[in-house]
Structure 1
């Protein structure tokens, strides 16, 4: 068999590659050869085509040498061979010197640019917000801090995480869009290193937010970060920035609080989330109100003082602000939400109001807008025992069961559906305490992603259905818990179509982007656990006194947010002002802060909810409308 002949071009290319592989000397040789091959002939053409060139051949060759030397920066000196060699040697030394100097300068600039790219320079801002750590909550927190700075001429948010600086900036920009007047600064490095924390200039910051990451050791990492903050700059007394952190488990909260110092506020994320899910299950539509009050884009809680109110009863203030809703008093750092109308206002008390901004809570009497003849005398019917279906199980589920035990009426039932791969559900449910007489908790083994499991349950008989995703596990895709939840919701939608009844479903999701994918009714309660905690942390970072307000509001055992039938306050199909509802709520010891229009409950983005409407706003109140109040059960 004849051997195939290698083409000449391939052999030449192979030989050329082989010579280059010999190292720098071969590369320099090729450069010299290629330069001379091009420069010498070109120089000769230029000399021979020059009309002023000398006629003798020797003189022309000297001219060619000089032109070649000038082109290659070899001096181009003529004369004896020794003189020519010395000029070439000096040119090579100069070339080596210049090349080395350029290389050193380029290397220094490259290292500096690399440091800047990695985010290793110290921030010189003052009064800025510092966000430590990276998780899904970072987008919520940074977005809310940017919104809080919208009415300021200049602001800055510094993010420090153990990630690439450019990657963080690009991801934040793609998720949040332009930052307006707020400057976003990212720094890269571990948040547990005091030297790295110093890059954020924490001592001059206005607030510091410590985010828990998504790994199992998140709480321990939060405690280490708080300790590193204490080592990065001294903290004493009440001076210095507000430090807001969140932990998942109660056993880390005391340690985190000690590490955070006197200005530190530590939230127990799982407890808050569980409480909000239970409140939404017992009072459908409540999650929309929580989101509205926690979002800087709408109306929020503020503290205000007004010397004219000192000594007057609290009830007088409820109709004293046209565009703000008064909901309580802050007395010596303790919030009094919805106190009795006759409670006198002290000299050191501050009003807790819901307003568009901190400068919009200005007194303006609107009591003349009250129409007493339109006020109703009805009362909300007392609810009986509740039936709740809990589909799925995670680390927050025992906390939810405990919340139900403390709040429901005797004879209530919680049915839990979980498969054998879940956490030890029975051990968590069999508490053996005295609450069992009020609440019966029953465990059903089954896969919530199986349609037959749901069909075996009398779902139409439940007052509410809670769908939980599993806890994320190491090595598992972050979207896995939401994938299971979305699949369960799809099966529930099918069961709704079979039974012909719309189920009051409360869903817990991890990623806010999955809200649009969830096959649920418009305006249904969707709890994005990380987003709610992020909103809460952002609010507290701007006003540390609100921590006590939210703790009281979300505890569920005292004054809380309720949705009541509007016909309990005003006559049905009667047109009157919102001030009339505020006055009617005052008679019942409640603070009215908004309403929900039943005609728009399926239309976003507000789904009929209106928080803090002007007291002078008039509308015809229908039977299905609801009033948002702060009061007791």
Structure 2
């Protein structure tokens, strides 16, 4: 009971104090003055009466008490006539008021400045930096790749603006990246975070986009991420006058929003459509196992990338001659003065004086002309064996927003009579509606089956090892994600997912069962898998060197590549469009003899005679060995290799 009484008294006293504080400044000063006097006056009297040297008379002691009180409260404690004492106290109070006000103003100003910095509301005064607008899981690969790209620069900066707490952003970036390179070194990159909505032109000024070399607009997570990208591009258009010096790169997920975003970005902006690119790479990789490793090497800044160099001494010659004009770089196309890109043009194409050579190289300073023709072994070049196209059996496990695009892309490349079995959740009515997607297919015979791809019994009935290729794409978690309104062309049960998109958890479970099926059958299942998060890819129960299309990371790599070199937008657009040339892995025995060592220049010459550009090879014996898994991109053309019958050459060619 005593504890309850003490607690009750403490609460009542606290309530009285809160009431006093809430009463305003004047009562608070009055009570504070009374409280000080109640302590200082008695304490001063004790000091005087306890002092042996104190005056003996009462007036003298009272005067001594006044002096002690005045000195303690900074009032001077002057003695003399009443008028003199009053004037002295008045001056002391004025001085005390002035000093206290000045200290308060300085403290308030510093606190406001610190709060402004903490909230990320100050302006970034940088030039030649990279601006990243928006926040999603893509921020981590984007920042990591930008840091890698700036590794050889003495001073660089990345400014991030997002509607998120500045300190939280800094902490997440610090913990989300293994090595950002922002601490030490000549090429250190500073990462600066600012907080605010990316759709407000006045707030955009906080990251100084007008002085930036590139601006990246990330699609936020969620169903309305594309709308946010469009609004951010409109705000950027209002904040930056045209023509712009900065390279503007954005990404949207849904193909239906691609054209709108391009309008908002303006003529100088570059907008990537994630769904189209991912669907195309899924199809390409399913038909060319190992191709995902080639794109991963090309798109990150750790290995070889696309560059352009002036034609210089090659002007007036042919593209075919340029293929063997570099020993440490692989020529793949031409960039014309009007911005058009021609990948793998006819070898007889003349190179203009204003053209630039598009090539794959380790760095821009390694693209030095040096003839590789002397290393060609004519006796090792063979005539290609005829390639017979045949009908295939394909299996698609799962369904999401990109699945109709995958079916459409497959229909463009497969031979007539090829069958595609789709297994996904859905009832009979849904499956009948889904059949409309396949109605316009001319080569592909599509059959939809209702089933849970994480159910081992469903997978066991499919005879998975009998398929020529298996594609696994993410499905939304229907228990945790609310259904979204489906587009007209997509059946309800296969409607666009909400939240972050594909469910990697279900994909991991499916891969686990597929691995068990492959082990039981004693063969490797040719598997291509779509993932949302690169961290989940590391957990995937699949063979080493398996093909994974990590959607978020892939788009992040493309955006950072274009932000560093704006002309790459035209290169990638040409590379990923339905028509034209693309990368293939083809049997090396169709190009050179496998009974001797040959220089890579011989492979380049053999590919040239087929109107192809050879850029590397893959060794089957190392296909399961990390980190390259047998892929050698842009090898030195003087390098001699003894290829096996089952090795591959990587070429840029038409289908």
Q: TM-score, normalised by structure 1?
A: 0.90
Question: Are the structure 2 counterparts of residues 452 and 293 from structure 1 closer, same or farther at C-alpha, using a change threshold of 3 Å?
Answer: same
Q: Map Cα deviations across residues 291-340 of structure 1 (whole Å, 9 max, x no partner).
A: 11111221111111132112212111212111100011223432222223
Residue of structure 2 in register with 1:595 after alignment: 617
Q: 1:72 to 1:461 in 2, by over 3 A?
A: same
Matching residue of 1:117: 118
Is residue 160–residue 186 contact of structure 1 (8 Å, CA) maintained in 2?
Answer: yes
The alpha-carbon deviation at position 588 of structure 1 amounts to 2.0
Aligned-partner Cα distance in 1 for 2:61–2:38: 23
User: Which residue matches 1:276?
Assistant: 281
CA apart distance, 1:20: 3.9
Secondary structure at 2:632 match in 1: strand
Q: Determine the C-alpha separation between the residues in 1 that align with 2:546 and 2:255.
A: 30
Aligned ranges for residues 487-502 of structure 1 at < 5 Å? 487-502=509-524
1:158–1:296 distance in 2 versus 1, CA, 3 Å = same
2: distance between equivalents of 1:577 and 1:566?
13
- Give 1:28's match in structure 2, choosing from 32, 48, 54: 32
Equivalent residues of 2:299, 2:558 under 8 A apart: yes
Distance (Å, rounded) in 2 between the aligned partners of 1:514 and 1:468: 14
Q: 2:231 is matched with which residue?
A: 224
The answer for the alignment partner of 1:98 in structure 2 is: 99
- Once the 2 structures are TM-superposed, how far is the Cα of residue 379 of structure 1 from its aligned partner? 2.8
Partners in 2 of 1:69 and 1:335 — Cα distance? 86
Secondary structure at 1:376's aligned position in 2?
coil
Report the equivalent of 1:156: 157
Residues 64 and 33 of structure 1: CA distance in aligned 2, closer, same or farther (over 3 Å): closer
Q: SS in structure 2 opposite 1:216? A: coil
**Residue number in structure 2 paired with 1:528:** 550
Corresponding residue to 1:341 among 338, 343, 347: 347
The separation in 1 between residues aligned to 2:91 and 2:379, in whole angstroms, is 107
Query: Are residue 359 (structure 1) and residue 381 (structure 2) matched?
Result: no
CA distances 1:133-169 after superposition (whole Å, capped 9, x unpaired): 1122222222222222222222222221111122222
Change in 2 beyond 3 A, CA 1:374/1:57: farther
3-state SS, counterpart of residue 28 of structure 1: helix
Name the counterpart of 2:318: 313
**Please, which moves more after superposition, 265-274 or 253-262?**
253-262
Q: Which runs of no fewer than 5 residues in structure 2 stay unpaired? A: 22-26, 484-497
Taking the aligned partners of 1:232 and 1:356, their CA distance within structure 2 comes to: 37
Contact 1:463 1:504 in 2 (8 A): yes
Distance 1:535 1:7, change over 3 A: closer
- 1:185 matched to which residue of 2? 192
Write the mapping of 1:409-558 to structure 2, written as runs, cut at 5 A: 409-420=415-426, 426-431=432-437, 435-436=441-442, 438-471=443-476, 473=481, 478=500, 481-558=503-580
Q: CA deviation at 1:508?
A: 1.0
SS at 2:267's partner residue? coil
Q: Does 1:56 align with 2:60?
A: no
Q: Is the 8 A contact 2:138 2:552 kept in 1?
A: yes
Match in the other structure for 1:626: 648
> For residues 348-373 of structure 1, what are the alpha-carbon distances to aligned partners after superposition, in whole Å with 9 as ceiling and x for unaligned?
22211101112221101122222222
RMSD: 2.9
Aligned equivalents of 1:547 and 1:72: distance in 2?
73
Quick one: distance in 1 between partners of 2:151 and 2:131?
Answer: 17
- Identify unmatched segments of 5+ residues in structure 1: none
